[in-house]
Amino acid sequence: MTRGTRGRRAGLAAGATLALTLTACGGSVGGDTGGGNGGGAADPLSIGLMAPITGPVASEGEAMKMGFDLALKEINADGGVLGQDIEVDFLDDKADPAIAAQSANRLITENQVDYLFGTITGDTSLAVGKVATEAEVPFSTAEMGTAGICTPYVWAFGETDPMILTELVPHMLETKGTRVALVGSDYSFPRGFNGLARELIEGAGGEVVAEEYAPLGTADWQPVIGKLSSAAPDWTLSAVVGGDAVSFVRQADEFGLLATSDITGISLIQDYYPAMGGVTDGRELVTRYSDALPGEANEKFVAAFREAYDWDAPIPGVAANAYEGLKFIAAAVEAAGTTETAAVMDALSTTTTDGIFGETSFTENHRFQTDMQLVRVEAGGKYVPVENLGVVEDPTECR
């Protein structure tokens, strides 16, 4: 499960004539079609990166690629992994599961990569996760969750729903009130996110007074806001994503919903801040990353990121996840001393790093563990950590 599944890319295409060069040698039949990656000790670490840089989630894809590229540059400048530069093959997955699966296959069989990294939308992550598992190649996403894909080969660097909600819900119930409205874009991730929130809210003595979902691409939120307002919630948990998040929050402000009740949730993340026009200032949310996190590693990352990409806005969490993710993978491969899958996977489960988030490691159920932060949004897009919540366990088993 990841956020941001906004349907297939808007792309379509036209017939530009293309010269499809056919390699004369080495067809598919008889060749090694099983994938596999028998990297020896002397091989450089080669990673296949897939990011949707076109289509409806291109902004997330770009952000992830930025974080990844920055880490890559730093690692290689420091002498690479196992004494050699990391090699990266990049493909645009176009947020299309069919293309993503084909691309993953291509990276494994043609480029013989040791590791797959990337994808944003849940359907593409699922597709690549299946391909990676079949080919026995480790695969990491930098997005939230991916809890739905449970195979030994998938190592997700995103934060999961329980990590965000376990501490957020009691905090909000305590400080804002017990009447809660849930709202989200209508697809799997928001529904799962809000479903868990409901469990937690009701378990803690709160009350869900409204729950609404609107299809992706909804521009007019008036009827939804009307229903939420008439339920008179103390606060709203919003899992509305993308451009819709901006439309929803701004219209909620217009109609006075935000004057009478508080708001938190995915809609408040850094990616959407510049377009919010300041209406989310003063609100709180739980995230893992904020560019205002203390620590030398983060300060260095923020400075490098702002300089490399001429970036003024809050740095998106997905960029930080990708940055830290690649650093973590590099550390694990270094520790394994080889790019061989089994050894790398062993190393992934035992490696710990002290990076931009603080201490990080993978749990037995492949959850990327690190401190979670209660963050307050302040004017100008400062996501100020107000409380370090420590490690928030996500004990959920694979579904």
Q: Footprint of other proteins on residues 121-140 (CB under 8 A)?
A: 122-124, 126-127, 130-131, 134
Could you say which of 199, 202, 254, 307 contacts other proteins (CB under 8 A)? Answer: 254
Q: Rule CB under 8 A: say whether 242 interacts with other proteins.
A: yes
Q: Which is nearer to other proteins, 37 or 353 (CB)?
A: 37
Could you say which of 174, 220, 354, 378 contacts other proteins (CB under 8 A)? Answer: 220
User: Closest separation between CB of residue 59 and other proteins, Å?
Assistant: 4
Q: Rule CB under 8 A: say whether 243 interacts with other proteins.
A: yes
User: Closest separation between CB of residue 363 and other proteins, Å?
Assistant: 23
**173 to 212, contacts with other proteins by CB under 8 A?**
186-189, 191, 212
Distance CA 158, CA 2 (A): 9
Q: Which is nearer to other proteins, 247 or 360 (CB)?
A: 247
Could you say which of 49, 142, 181, 214 contacts other proteins (CB under 8 A)? Answer: 214
SS (H, E, C) the chain: CCCCCCCCCCCCCCCCCCCCCCCCCCCCCCCCCCCCCCCCCCCCCEEEEECCCCCCCHHHHHHHHHHHHHHHHHHHHCCCECCECCEEEEECCCCCHHHHHHHHHHHHHCCCCCEEEECCCHHHHHHHHHHHHHHCCCEECCCCCCCCCCCCCECCCCCCHHHHHHHHHHHHHHHCCCEEEEEEECCHHHHHHHHHHHHHHHHCCCEEEEEEEECCCCCCCHHHHHHHHHCCCCEEEEECCHHHHHHHHHHHHHCCHHHHCEEEEHHHCHHHHHHHCCCCCCCEEEECCCCCCCCHHHHHHHHHHHHHHCCCCCCCHHHHHHHHHHHHHHHHHHHHCCCCHHHHHHHHHHCEEEECCEEEEECCCCCEECEEEEEEEECCCEEEEEEEEEECCCCCCCC
Could you say which of 11, 294, 337, 390 contacts other proteins (CB under 8 A)? Answer: 11
**Which span (28-36, 78-86, 331-339, 360-368) binds other proteins, by CB under 8 A?**
28-36
Q: Which is nearer to other proteins, 127 or 163 (CB)?
A: 127
Q: Which is nearer to other proteins, 220 or 307 (CB)?
A: 220
Could you say which of 64, 81, 88, 99 contacts other proteins (CB under 8 A)? Answer: 99
User: Closest separation between CB of residue 5 and other proteins, Å?
Assistant: 5
Q: Rule CB under 8 A: say whether 101 interacts with other proteins.
A: yes
**Which span (21-29, 77-85, 371-379, 389-397) binds other proteins, by CB under 8 A?**
21-29
User: Closest separation between CB of residue 346 and other proteins, Å?
Assistant: 27
Q: Rule CB under 8 A: say whether 213 interacts with other proteins.
A: yes
User: Closest separation between CB of residue 126 and other proteins, Å?
Assistant: 6
Q: Rule CB under 8 A: say whether 379 interacts with other proteins.
A: no
User: Closest separation between CB of residue 389 and other proteins, Å?
Assistant: 28
Q: Rule CB under 8 A: say whether 102 interacts with other proteins.
A: yes
Q: Which is nearer to other proteins, 15 or 40 (CB)?
A: 15
For 178-207, letters b (16+ CB in 10 Å) and e give bbbbbbbbebebbbbbbebbbebbeeeebe
**55 to 94, contacts with other proteins by CB under 8 A?**
56-59, 62, 91-92, 94
Distance CA 364, CA 390 (A): 18
Q: Which is nearer to other proteins, 215 or 395 (CB)?
A: 215
**Torsion angles phi and psi, residue 299, rounded to 5:** -60, -40
**Which span (156-164, 170-178, 247-255, 323-331) binds other proteins, by CB under 8 A?**
247-255
In Å, the largest CA–CA distance within the chain is: 69
Q: Rule CB under 8 A: say whether 311 interacts with other proteins.
A: no
